[in-house]
């Protein structure tokens, strides 16, 4: 099973724990995860990193959202991660892709996409929330 981990690249410690977790499971392999891009050539590197990340989501069996407290907000999901989650969901709904969408934590109500996450979970589009 191929796994893509999405979330804030600023949470490298948490992401590393999930890479180890998924890679330790039988028949699971992490294809991609958020990587810190050096600031000095961010604008140059970002387009290709971003494009490859979305390509890997199309290959994934699991899209895992490593969402944690950030900026004082629990279960934080930023615009970039929400776009990635939406892309994974689109694969599932439009193309019938058998991709599992899993969140580390339910976002708190202060997260901009809280209502959508709540609805998607209710509709069964998000398979699991771990925390």
pLDDT of 11 strictly over 70: yes
Rounded distance, CA 24 to CA 29, Å?
Answer: 8
Q: In this predicted structure, what is the pLDDT of residue 131? A: 66
pLDDT of 15 strictly over 80: yes
Q: State pLDDT tens for residues 30-59.
A: 999 999 999 999 999 999 999 999 999 999
How many domains is the chain built from?
1
The boundaries of the domain holding residue 97 are: 2-129
Q: In this predicted structure, what is the pLDDT of residue 128? A: 83
Q: Are 29 and 3 in contact (CB under 8 A)?
A: yes
Q: In this predicted structure, what is the pLDDT of residue 130? A: 84
Q: Are 33 and 19 in contact (CB under 8 A)?
A: yes
Q: Are 64 and 97 in contact (CB under 8 A)?
A: no
Q: State pLDDT tens for residues 68-77.
A: 999 899 999 9
DSSP-derived letter for residue 19 is: H
Q: Which structure tokens are listed for 89?
A: 């969901």
Say if pTM beats, i.e. exceeds, 0.85.
yes
Tell me the CATH number at 52.
3.40.50.450
**CA 68 from centroid of its chain's CA atoms:** 11
Rounded distance, CA 57 to CA 44, Å?
Answer: 22
């Amino acid at each position: 099973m191929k796994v893509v981990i999405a979330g804030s690249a600023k949470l490298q410690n948490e992401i590393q724990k999930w890479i180890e977790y998924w890679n330790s499971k039988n028949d699971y392999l992490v294809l991609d995860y958020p990587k810190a891009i050096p600031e000095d050539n961010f604008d140059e590197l970002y387009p290709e990193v971003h494009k490859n990340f979305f390509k890997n989501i199309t290959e994934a069996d699991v899209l895992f959202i490593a969402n944690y407290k950030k900026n004082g907000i629990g279960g934080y999901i930023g615009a970039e991660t929400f776009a990635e989650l939406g892309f994974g969901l689109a694969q599932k709904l439009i193309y019938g892709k058998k991709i599992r969408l899993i969140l580390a934590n339910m976002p708190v109500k202060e997260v901009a996409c809280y209502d959508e996450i709540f609805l998607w979970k209710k509709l069964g589009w998000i398979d699991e929330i771990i925390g």
